[in-house]
Structure 1
């Protein structure tokens, strides 16, 4: 099942409301409340699996989160949740000492054609770049990481956009001083 199936506005609203109050709960209680909501869905529901992964991730259990994210993606999670799952899976993998896999996932995500993504998914492009930059740095590719991070930052500056974008690209071709 895909998260497109997760059209139950009541369920979606309760999930969103619970996430808004995450800081009001102890980690185990928050995970339990998400699990209760997930139990309302079919066992293999991709959206429910994603939410459980995110709950584990957000409460300091990345190993468990990875398993949920992978199951959700295997069940053809779609839309914004799919993109979030890729970013969050890649981040967890990086934190678990697997930055090479993180780079693979985020590079593939970054390479998706924009016309295959909706506006909400495209809005996460800076997050993809940011987490890819972290993973690149962890794999010893610091210049690529800096280039990517600065390139993502350039459009947000009130001035110097063109200059910073140019310098970001130049990091990939300029000698690194070593």
Structure 2
């Protein structure tokens, strides 16, 4: 139930402060605090469902998180939380032995044109690639995983950017000398 003093901005501030203090709680205590804040919102509120999912995920309960992530996404979660939910859902599925489903989700996420994303969502492109690389490795697609990881790393290096980007593509035979 939404209390009169709990506007969205204040709720977001309190959620952020709680996440900043994550390491001061045990898992059950943290989930309980997130649940208290989530209970201030309607039961089907996508942001509150996402926060519950992330709390379960971050405290070692990915099985419980998966359903909550799906409910949040199905409920119309948008923006940065939507992108985070896809990444975190894919990671949980990979950890639960479903790397193929993880790959599917992250390939779809990676295919979203940059112009449809805001700056915060775009900033997570490297995270999408990193978790996709992990999922690809779990499916036995090691060269694709290495290529993706190295390609994501290349722009971050102070030198050798061009060379590393070339070698990343070359792993798949798509460099200047490949197909």
TM-score (norm 2): 0.93
Counterpart CA distance in 1 for 2:162 and 2:24 is 44
Which residue pairs with 1:31 in the alignment? 31
Write the distance in 1 (CA, Å) between the matches of 2:8 and 2:130: 32
Shift of 1:7: 6.9
1:3 maps to none
Question: Deviations for 1:32-61, whole angstroms, at most 9, x for unmatched residues?
Answer: 000000000000000000000000000000
For residue 112 of structure 1, give the secondary structure of its aligned residue in structure 2: coil
Higher relative contact order (CA 8 A, sep 6+): 1
Determine if the alignment matches structure 1 residue 163 to structure 2 residue 168.
Answer: no
Report the counterpart of residue 102 of structure 1 in structure 2.
Answer: 102
Question: Using the alignment, how far apart are the partners of 1:40 and 1:160 within structure 2?
Answer: 50
> Alpha-carbon deviation of 1:15?
0.3
Q: Distance in 2 between matches of 1:20 and 1:166?
A: 39
Q: Which residue is 1:90 aligned to?
A: 90
Are 2:55 and 1:67 equivalent residues in the alignment? no
Deviation at 1:155, TM superposition (A): 0.4
Q: TM-score, normalised by structure 1?
A: 0.93
Output one character per residue of 1:67-117: Cα deviation in whole Å (capped at 9) or x when no partner: 110000000100000000000000000000000000000000000000000
* Residue 126 (1) aligns with residue 126 (2): yes
Matched, 1:55 2:55: yes
Unaligned runs of 5+ in 2: 1-5, 175-179
Pairwise CA RMSD of aligned residues?
Answer: 1.2
Task: Answer with 145-154 or 6-15: which moved more.
Answer: 6-15
Measure how far apart 1:173 and its partner are: 1.5
1:11 and 1:159 map into 2 onto residues whose CA distance is 43
State the match for 1:136 in structure 2: 136
> Counterpart of 1:148?
148
Question: Equivalent residue for 1:173?
Answer: 173
After TM superposition, what 4+ stretches of structure 1 lie above 6 angstroms from structure 2? none
Give 1:9 shift: 0.5
Q: Which runs of 5+ in 1 are unaligned?
A: 1-5
